[in-house]
Structure 1
Amino acid sequence: MIQDEITKRVLILDGAMGTVIQEYGLNEQDFRGERFQDIPGQMKGNNDVLNLTRPDVIQDIFERYLKAGADIISTNTFNAQRVSQADYHLQAYAKEMNLTSARMAREAADRYSTPNHPRFVAGSVGPTNKTCSMSPDVSDPARREMTYDELYEAYMEQMEGLIEGGVDAILIETIFDSLNAKVAIDAAIHARGNRDIPIMLSVTISDAAGRTLSGQTLEAFLASVSSFPIFSIGLNCSFGARQMKPYLKELSRIAPYYISAHPNAGLPNSLGLYDETPETMAPQIAEFIDEGLVNIVGGCCGTTPAFIEKYAPLAVGKKPHQPVEKSPKMLLSGLDLLEVSSHLADANSHLSAFTNVGERCNVAGSRKFLRLIKEKSYEEALQIARKQVEDGALVIDVNMDDGLLDAKAEMVTFLNLIASEPEIARVPVMIDSSKWDVIMAGLKCVQGKSIVNSISLKEGEEVFLSHARDVMRMGAAVVVMCFDEQGQATTYERRIEIAERAYRLLTEKVGFLPQDIIFDPNVLAIATGMEEHNAYAVDFIRATEWIRKNLPGAHISGGVSNLSFSFRGNNYLREAMHAVFLYHAIQKGMDFGIVNPSTKVTYDDIPKEQLQLIEDVVLNRHPESAELLMGITGEANDTSSTSEASPTSLSLEDRLQNALIKGVGTTLEDDLKEALEKYPRPVDIIEGPLMAGMNEVGRRFGEGKMFLPQVVKTARTMKQAVAILQPALEAAKGDDTGKSGNVKKILLATVKGDVHDIGKNIVGVIMACNGYEVIDLGVMVPAEQIVQRAKDEQVDMIGLSGLITPSLEEMVNVARELEKAGLNIPIMIGGATTSELHVALKIAPVYGGPVVWLKDASQNPLVAQRLMSDVDEYSKELNKEYAQMREDYHQEQQQLLSLDEARRRKTKLFE
Structure 2
Amino acid sequence: MDLHKLTDERIVFLDGAMGTMLQRKGLKAGESPESWNLVHQDKIIEVHKEYIEAGSDIVNTNTFGGNTLKLKEYNLQDKLEEINGKAVEAAKKARDFFKRDVFISGSIGPTGEFVKPVGNISFDEMYEIYYRQVKALGNAGADLINFETMVDIGELRIAVLAAKDAVKIPIFANLTFNEDGRTLTGSDVFSAFNILEGLGVDFIGTNCGMGPDEMGRMINGINQLIDTKIVVQANAGIPKLIDGKTVFTCSPHDYVKQLEKIVEEGVNIIGGCCGTTPEFIKMVKEKFKDSLPKKIRQEKKSRIKLSSTTGTFMISRETPFCKIGEKINPSALKKIADDIRLESQSNMKETARKQEEAGAHVLDINLGLGGSDETKSFQRVIPEMSSFTKLPLCIDTTDPKALEEALRLYPGRALINSISAEKERMEKILPLMKKYGAYAVFLPLDEKGIPETAEERIKVIKKVLNEAEKYGLGKERFLVDALVMTVSANPKLAKVSVETIRLAYEELGLLSTCGLSNISFGLPGRNAVNASFLSMLMGAGLDSAILNPEDELLSIMIDAGNVLYERDIHAISYIKKYQQVKNFFKDNQGAQTANTVLQEQKKVKNETLEDKIYAAVVEGSKEEITGLLAEGIKKYNAQELLNRFMIPAITYVGDLYDKKVYYLPQLMLSAETMKKGTEYLEPYLKQETRKFIATIIIATVKGDIHDIGKNIVSIMLENNGFKVIDLGKDVSKEIVLEKALEHKADIICLSALMTTTMVEMGHFKEYMKAQRKEIPLMIGGAVVNQDYAASIGAYFSKDAVEAVERAKQIIGSINKKG
Give the TM-score normalised by structure 2.
0.63
2: CA distance, partners of 1:512 / 1:101: 37
State the one-letter code of the partner of 2:316. Answer: S
1:357 Cα shift? Answer: 0.3
Query: Which position in structure 2 is the counterpart of 1:465?
Result: 427
Gaps in structure 1 of 5+ consecutive residues: 29-43, 137-144, 344-351, 607-898
SS at match of 2:409: coil
- Shift of the 605–88 alpha-carbon distance from structure 1 to 2, 3 Å rule, reads closer
SS in structure 1 opposite 2:135? helix
Q: How far apart, CA to CA, are the structure 2 residues paired with 1:124 and 1:166?
A: 13
Q: Partner residue of 1:333?
A: 307
2:375 corresponds to 1:601:
no
Structure with larger Rg = 1
Shift of 1:557: 2.1
What's the counterpart of residue 729 of structure 2?
none
Distance in 1, matches of 2:289 and 2:466, equals 46
| Cα displacement (A) at 1:393 | 0.8
The answer to whether structure 1 residue 384 and structure 2 residue 362 are counterparts is: no
Rounded to whole Å, the distance in 2 between the matches of 1:132 and 1:5 is 36
SS in 2 for 1:123: strand
Q: From 25, 40, 54, give the equivalent of 1:68.
A: 54
Alignment match, 1:890: none
Distance between the aligned counterparts of 1:555 and 1:46, measured in 2? 53
Cα distance in 2 between the residues matched to 1:210 and 1:287: 20
Structure 1 residue 264 displacement after superposition: 1.6
Corresponding residue for 1:455? 419
Letter in 2 for 1:229: G
Q: Is residue 2:540 matched to residue 1:592? A: no
User: AA paired with 1:579?
Assistant: A
State the SS of the aligned residue for 1:360.
Answer: strand
Aligned residue among 166, 173, 177 for 1:205: 177
Distance 1:292 1:377, change over 3 A: closer
Cα distance in 2 between the residues matched to 1:217 and 1:12: 26
Distance (Å, rounded) in 1 between the aligned partners of 2:81 and 2:474? 34
Q: Is 2:673 the partner of 1:908?
A: no
Q: Using the alignment, how far apart are the partners of 1:159 and 1:377 within structure 2?
A: 37
For 1:172-215, what per-residue CA distance to the aligned partner results, in whole angstroms no more than 9, with x for missing partners? 2223222222223323333344xxx4332222112x32112221
1:510 corresponds to which residue? Answer: 471
> Which whole-Å CA distance do the structure 1 matches of 2:444 and 2:225 have between them?
34
Q: TM-score, normalised by structure 1?
A: 0.57
1:21 alignment partner, SS class:
helix
> Structure 1 26/341 Cα, relative in aligned 2: closer, same or farther at 3 Å?
closer
Give the CA deviation at 1:604. 8.9
Hey, what's the Cα distance between the residues in 1 that align with 2:225 and 2:379? 32
Check conservation: 1:286, 1:314, Cα contact below 8 A.
no
Structure 1 CA distance for aligned equivalents of residues 449 and 225 of structure 2: 42
Shift of 1:59: 1.9
Relative to structure 1, the CA distance from residue 602 to residue 13 in structure 2 (aligned partners, 3 Å threshold; closer, same or farther) is closer
- For residues 382 and 14 of structure 1, the distance between their equivalents in structure 2, rounded to whole angstroms, comes to 46
CA distance in 1 between counterparts of 2:557 and 2:193 reads 40
**1:420 partnered with 2:408:** no
Task: State the number of aligned residues.
Answer: 564
User: Alpha carbons of 1:205 and 1:506: their partners in 2 closer, same or farther (altered >3 Å)?
Assistant: same
Contact 2:110–2:148 at 8 Å: present in 1 too? yes
Farther off after superposition, 216-225 or 409-418: 409-418
In structure 1, the residue corresponding to 2:198 is in which secondary structure? coil
Distance 1:133 1:453, change over 3 A: farther
SS for the counterpart of 2:210 is strand
- Give the match's secondary structure for 1:294: coil
Q: How does 1:215-614 map to 2 (within 5 A)?
A: 215-252=186-223, 254-269=225-240, 273-276=246-249, 278-279=251-252, 281-288=254-261, 291=264, 293-323=266-296, 327-334=301-308, 335-341=310-316, 354-375=321-342, 378-421=345-388, 424-425=389-390, 427-458=391-422, 460-461=423-424, 463-487=425-449, 492=454, 495-507=457-469, 509-528=470-489, 533-552=490-509, 554-567=510-523, 570=524, 573-602=525-554
Counterpart in 2 of 1:99?
85
CA distance in 2, matches of 1:457, 1:91: 49
Q: Is 2:238–2:250's contact at 8 Å kept on the other side of the alignment?
A: no
Q: Please tell me whether the aligned partners of residues 80 and 94 of structure 1 are also in contact (alpha carbons under 8 angstroms).
A: yes
Task: Tell me the percent identity.
Answer: 28
- Residue 17 of structure 1 corresponds to 18
How far off its partner does 1:249 sit? 2.9
Match of 2:40 in 1: 54
Q: List alignment gaps of at least 5 residues for structure 2.
A: 559-672, 687-818
SS state of the match for residue 259, structure 1? strand
The residue type paired with residue 557 of structure 1 is: T
In 1: Cα distance, 2:58 partner to 2:284 partner = 13
- For residues 303 and 371 of structure 1, do their structure 2 counterparts lie closer, same or farther at Cα, with a shift above 3 Å needed? same
Separation in structure 1 between the aligned mates of residue 396 and residue 51 of structure 2, nearest angstrom:
50
1:394–1:186 distance in 2 versus 1, CA, 3 Å: same
CA contact (8 A) 2:454 2:503 kept: no
Q: 1:74 Cα shift?
A: 0.9
**3-state SS in 1 of match to 2:682:** coil
Q: Render the CA deviation track for 1:849-873: whole Å, top value 9, x for unaligned.
A: xxxxxxxxxxxxxxxxxxxxxxxxx
Is the CA contact (8 Å cut-off) linking 1:238 and 1:263 kept in structure 2?
A: yes
Aligned to 1:120: 103
Q: Which secondary structure does the structure 2 equivalent of 1:103 belong to?
A: helix
Distance apart, 1:246 and its partner CA: 0.6
Q: State how far apart, in whole Å, the 1-side matches of 2:167 and 2:339 are.
A: 45
Structure 1 residues 377 and 187, CA, compared in 2 at 3 Å: closer, same or farther?
A: closer
Q: Is the 8 A contact 2:256 2:283 kept in 1?
A: no
Per-residue deviation at 1:90?
4.2
Q: Structure 1 pair 539/167, CA: closer, same or farther in 2 (3 Å)?
A: same
Partner of 1:159: 134
Q: 1:310 & 1:496 partners in 2: Cα distance?
A: 56
Partner of 2:112: 129
Residue 311 of structure 1 aligns to a residue whose secondary structure is: helix
SS at match of 2:197: coil
Match of 1:109 in 2: 95
